[in-house]
């Protein structure tokens, strides 16, 4: 009974918890309640993953109306993977936020902030769960609006400006998506993604279909921070409260990339993609430009949050590159890196949050020698950094390795070169941080480790980077399966 | 037909672009939100134009009428209008807070204040 | 033919109003002209048979959005702004995007033809069956409340999210100004 409805419950549960959370008194309860909700969501996500493993695509008709007339929930291997990722990150970050966010804002707003965090989770889960293209837009806006509000909660006044600029650019992106969708509807008369996929092939040469594709890619690319549409991201993630930055960096751009893959391969399909002149080279070019530009900008930044955010621009480039190979191996490598990048970036932002919690700043000039006072936090940071560079036996290595294999498969050696250069640059910008944090004399005189509630989730994610690096097979196999079924459905 | 088949679309595109221009070119944050609203309203017009059926009635069932305009775009745009005003409200609240914190809501002047 | 003439005239008027909003001096004038823009939009929605949308646009666009803007402007002290200059970068972006869209609409089916693909696949079921399946004459309401009821739920959540966001932002305002 519960299993049958798990597909909807996984989205409905955090939503139903929102009003409760908003009204909870006390400084601690909202965070603890949100944590319980996140763990329950994780339980459902695991159940659903097992369901997809067994039965393939799961479908659920909302309100009992059959698609394409009604809205359908649809969970395939790729969606189940991203859903699990969202639930995992929420389950680890929410208890951390329960401590760190509650310490940062004044009493009256704690409930509201956790309600917004749950809304963000609801929106992202809803995007992944649905099979209806317009429903994607509605849930995208739920996640976006709660995201803008949460970013504005940052300590510095700059957070307000970052949030406003993100709001403007994000809404333009969502409206571009809406334009693309409108053109598709005018051509096909449907909004259901599977139904669209069956109706698109005869229209692949139509300028309208190609324009729709460009608008959808640009609109979602903006939300995913694909270069050069990334300008909102560095400020937004650097100014947001660290727990929010950790959650959003690990989930929001990932879900946008998921939508991109869903539309590219699951709605338009390979034939259509190859029909648009220069689309593939343009996407590959943007991916490489993002990898290099993000890394170069990160080398010059002074604030750790900003460095991590800019490195996200580079990492989005890697994932996009996997997609832009238009091959099963490439898409699978992109998905592997999508999952693993979430783990490393969440670990890094949580470690940063622990440092900011103790020192009150994430600015490199004020963090000399912090590592000596916070050895455990620093160990977690190092783990995340090694994974970000792509050192063997870490999660970050796996995605890059399979990406290189997929690139070599197509004989595009210049892309391998670009990836290596970007990786070397990441060593440089991460080394700058490590060097400062270990420098003597230290700003903090003695041992001053982060509170356990901040440290445990951080260490957990750091260990996850190691585990996913050493036991990569399940994720790789699942991604291959997701990729094969998506590309198979498209052609 | 006359050359009017695509007239709706082209004026709608001109409208979208004027909104988009205002939102990029003007520095005042409230102006940017006005531009955003014009941009979005024009997209609503695009949808409603797609749904229009000449000589059809508004989609309210009545005896003796057999041609209606398409109700689906209307439904979508009703939702989109509400989403649009929700975004505007949040943007305005941010503008008010920015004014409180910086004493200005001009984008260029915000950039001049470093922190 | 009459219907089309009104459509053509209203669209032309709308473009003029939009340009007026953008070129206007002073924010109060811009906001008031924007209200007029929304009203003309609502008029266009009526001629395009979208009466529910027209009503909502008039109430929400011309009403609520305009009032919110005026209220925000009042709290921002109605400051003077720099005179508009031509922004070449924006012009290039807009011409590029607009050009792509014009190209993209060239092979769209003509506005208003009853056999357009948009009217063929999903929509007929709503028009033919909703009277029986739902039992109310307004098809837009039927689709909104049942076939696509989940979108409507999402819409309510969007309003709640925005309300929560506004509250989170403005409830701490006094503290900041005291600094």
Q: With a cut of 50, say whether residue C176 has pLDDT above it.
A: no
Place B2 in a pLDDT band, splitting at 50, 70 and 90: very low
pLDDT score at C78: 64
* Residue-wise pLDDT tens digits, A474-491: 999 999 999 999 998 544
- What value does the mean pLDDT take over residues A130-140? 96
Position C117 in a domain = no
Q: What are the sequence ranges of the domains in chain A?
A: 285-491
How does residue A444 score in pLDDT terms, banded at 50, 70 and 90?
low
pLDDT-derived band of residue C83, with 50, 70 and 90 as boundaries?
confident
Residue keyed to tokens 């890094």 = A348
Q: Could you report the per-residue pLDDT of A78-125, keeping only the tens digit for each?
A: 999 999 999 999 999 999 999 888 777 776 788 999 999 999 999 999
Q: Which of A141, A149, A171 sits opposite B36 (nearest CB)?
A: A171
Report chain B residues whose CB lies below 8 A from the CB of C140: 59-60, 71, 74-75, 78
Residue B1 lies in a domain: no
In the prediction, which pLDDT does B27 show?
Answer: 87
Domain count, chain B: 1
Alpha-carbon distance of A224 to A254, in angstroms, equals 7
Whether residue A168 and residue B36 make contact (CB cut-off 8 A), yes or no, is yes
The total of structural domains in chain C comes to 2
- Give A365-421 pLDDT, tens digit per residue: 888 888 888 999 999 999 999 999 999 999 999 999 999 999 999 998 999 999 999
Within a domain: residue C94? no
Q: How far is B71 from chain C (nearest CA, A)?
A: 5
How far does A236 lie from chain B, in Å, by closest CA?
Answer: 14
DSSP string, A108-177: GGHHHHHHHHHHHHHHHHHHHHB-BHHHHHHHHHHHHHHHHHHHTTSSSTHHHHHHHHHHHHHHHHHHHH
C162 touches B at CB < 8 Å: yes
CATH number at residue B105: 1.10.287.3510
Residue A41 near residue A91 (C-beta atoms within 8 A): yes
Full residue range of the structural domain in which residue B34 is found: 7-53+67-112
If pLDDT is split at 50, 70 and 90, which confidence band does C179 have? Answer: very low
Interface of A with C in 183-202 (CB under 8 A): 183, 185-191, 195, 199
How many pairs of residues across A and B have Cβ atoms under 8 Å apart?
72
Q: Which residues pair with A74 in a beta bridge?
A: A59
How far is the C-alpha of A6 from the C-alpha of A440, rounded, in Å? 53
Distances, alpha carbon C21 to alpha carbons B26, C36, C57, in Å: 12, 9, 18
pLDDT of residue C1: 65
pLDDT in tens, B41-92: 999 999 999 999 888 888 989 888 888 999 999 999 999 999 999 999 999 9
Instruction: Return the pLDDT at A203.
Output: 87
Structure letter (DSSP) for residue B106 = B
Question: Region A298-303: what's the mean pLDDT?
Answer: 92
Which 91-110 residues of chain B touch chain C by CB within 8 A? Answer: 92-97, 99-101, 104-106, 108
- Domain final residue, candidates C55, C79, C103: C79
Q: What phi, psi does A59 have (nearest 5°)? A: -130, 150
> Least CA distance to C127: which residue of chain A?
A69
Average pLDDT, chain A: 92
Residue B81, in any domain of the structure:
yes
Mean pLDDT within C57-67 = 93
Which band of pLDDT confidence, cut at 50, 70 and 90, is reported for residue C79?
low
Q: What percent of chain A has pLDDT over 70?
A: 98
Which residues of chain C approach chain A closer than 8 Å at the C-beta? 100-101, 103-109, 116-123, 125-126, 146-151, 154-155, 157-158, 160-162, 164-165, 167-169, 171-172, 175-176
User: Mean pLDDT across the stretch C12-27?
Assistant: 90
- Best B27, B82, B104 residue to mutate vs chain C (most C CBs within 10 Å): B82
pLDDT at A161: 96
Domain membership of residue C27 as a residue range = 1-79
Chain A, residues 207-246, CB within 8 A of chain C, namely 207-208, 210-212, 214
Return the pLDDT at B4: 64
Would you call A182 an interface residue with chain C, using a CB distance cutoff of 8 Å? no
In a domain, B97, yes or no: yes
Going from the C-alpha of B107 to that of each of A39, B40, B102, C60, C105, the distances in angstroms are: 42, 21, 11, 27, 34
Is A141 in contact with B86 (Cβ distance < 8 A)?
Answer: yes
């Amino acid at each position: 009974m519960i299993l049958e409805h798990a597909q909807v419950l996984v989205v409905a549960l955090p939503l139903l918890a929102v009003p409760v959370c908003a009204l909870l008194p006390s400084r601690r309860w909202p965070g603890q309640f949100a944590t319980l909700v996140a763990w329950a969501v994780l339980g459902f996500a695991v159940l659903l993953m097992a369901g997809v493993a067994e039965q393939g695509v799961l479908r659920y008709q909302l309100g009992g109306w059959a698609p394409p007339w009604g809205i359908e929930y649809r969970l395939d291997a790729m969606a189940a993977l991203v859903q699990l990722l969202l639930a995992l990150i929420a389950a680890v970050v929410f208890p951390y936020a329960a401590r760190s966010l509650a310490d940062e804002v004044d009493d009256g707003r704690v409930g509201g902030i956790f309600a917004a965090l749950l809304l963000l989770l609801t929106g992202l889960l809803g995007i992944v769960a649905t099979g209806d293209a317009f429903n994607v837009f509605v849930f995208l806006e739920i996640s976006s609006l709660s995201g803008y509000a949460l970013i504005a909660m940052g300590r510095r006044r700059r957070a307000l400006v970052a949030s406003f600029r993100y709001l403007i650019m994000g809404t333009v992106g969502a409206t571009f998506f809406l334009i693309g969708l409108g053109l598709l509807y005018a051509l096909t008369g449907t909004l259901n993604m599977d139904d669209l996929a069956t109706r698109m092939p005869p229209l692949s040469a139509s300028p309208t279909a190609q324009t729709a594709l460009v608008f959808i890619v640009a609109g979602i690319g903006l939300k995913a921070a694909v270069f050069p549409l990334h300008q909102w991201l560095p400020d937004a993630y650097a100014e947001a409260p660290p727990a929010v930055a950790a959650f959003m960096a690990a989930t929001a751009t990932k879900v946008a990339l998921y939508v991109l893959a869903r539309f590219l391969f699951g709605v338009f399909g390979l034939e259509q993609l190859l029909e648009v002149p220069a689309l593939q080279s343009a996407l590959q070019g943007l991916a490489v430009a993002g990898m290099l530009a993000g890394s170069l900008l990160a080398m010059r930044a002074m604030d750790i949050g900003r460095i991590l955010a800019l490195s996200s621009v580079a990492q989005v480039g890697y994932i996009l590159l996997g997609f832009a190979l238009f091959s099963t191996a490439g898409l699978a490598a992109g998905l592997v890196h999508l999952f693993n990048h979430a783990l490393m970036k969440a670990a890094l932002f949580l470690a940063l949050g622990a440092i900011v919690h103790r020192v009150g700043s994430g600015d490199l000039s004020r963090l000399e020698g912090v590592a000596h006072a916070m050895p455990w936090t620093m160990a977690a940071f190092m783990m995340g950094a090694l994974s970000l560079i792509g050192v063997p036996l870490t999660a970050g290595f796996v995605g890059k390795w399979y990406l290189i294999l997929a690139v070599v498969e197509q004989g595009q050696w210049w892309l391998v070169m670009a990836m290596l250069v970007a990786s070397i640059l990441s060593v440089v910008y991460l080394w700058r941080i490590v060097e400062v944090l270990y420098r003597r004399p230290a700003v903090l005189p003695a041992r001053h480790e982060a509170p356990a509630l901040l440290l445990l989730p951080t260490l957990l994610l750091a260990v996850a980077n190691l585990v996913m690096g050493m036991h990569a097979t399940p994720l790789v196999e699942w991604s291959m399966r997701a990729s094969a079924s998506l590309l198979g459905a498209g052609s | 037909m006359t050359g009017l088949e695509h007239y709706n679309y082209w004026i709608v595109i001109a409208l979208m672009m004027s909104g988009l221009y205002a939102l990029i070119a003007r520095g005042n944050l409230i102006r940017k939100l006005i531009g955003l609203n014009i941009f979005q309203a024009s997209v609503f017009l695009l949808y409603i134009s797609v749904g229009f059926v000449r000589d059809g009635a508004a989609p309210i069932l009545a005896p003796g009428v057999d041609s209606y305009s398409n109700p689906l775009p209307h439904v979508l745009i009703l939702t989109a209008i509400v989403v649009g005003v929700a975004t505007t409200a949040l943007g305005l609240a941010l503008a008010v807070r920015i004014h409180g914190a910086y004493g200005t809501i001009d984008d260029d002047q915000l950039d001049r204040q470093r922190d | 033919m009459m219907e089309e003439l009104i459509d053509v005239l209203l669209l032309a008027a709308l473009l003029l109003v939009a340009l007026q909003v953008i070129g206007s001096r002073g924010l109060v004038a811009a906001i008031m002209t924007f209200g007029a823009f929304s009203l003309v939009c609502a008029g266009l929605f009526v001629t395009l048979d979208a009466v529910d949308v027209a009503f909502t646009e008039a109430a929400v666009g011309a009403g609520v959005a305009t009032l919110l803007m005026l209220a925000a402007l009042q709290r921002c002290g109605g400051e003077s702004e720099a005179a508009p200059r031509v922004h070449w970068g924006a012009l290039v972006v807009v011409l590029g995007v607009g050009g792509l869209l014009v190209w993209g609409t060239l092979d769209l089916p003509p506005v208003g033809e009853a056999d357009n693909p948009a009217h063929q696949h999903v929509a007929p079921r709503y028009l033919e069956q909703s009277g029986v399946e739902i039992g109310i004459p307004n098809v837009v309401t039927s689709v909104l409340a049942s076939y696509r009821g989940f979108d409507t739920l999402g819409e309510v959540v969007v309003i709640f999210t925005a309300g929560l966001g506004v509250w989170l932002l403005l409830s701490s305002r006094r503290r900041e100004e005291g600094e």
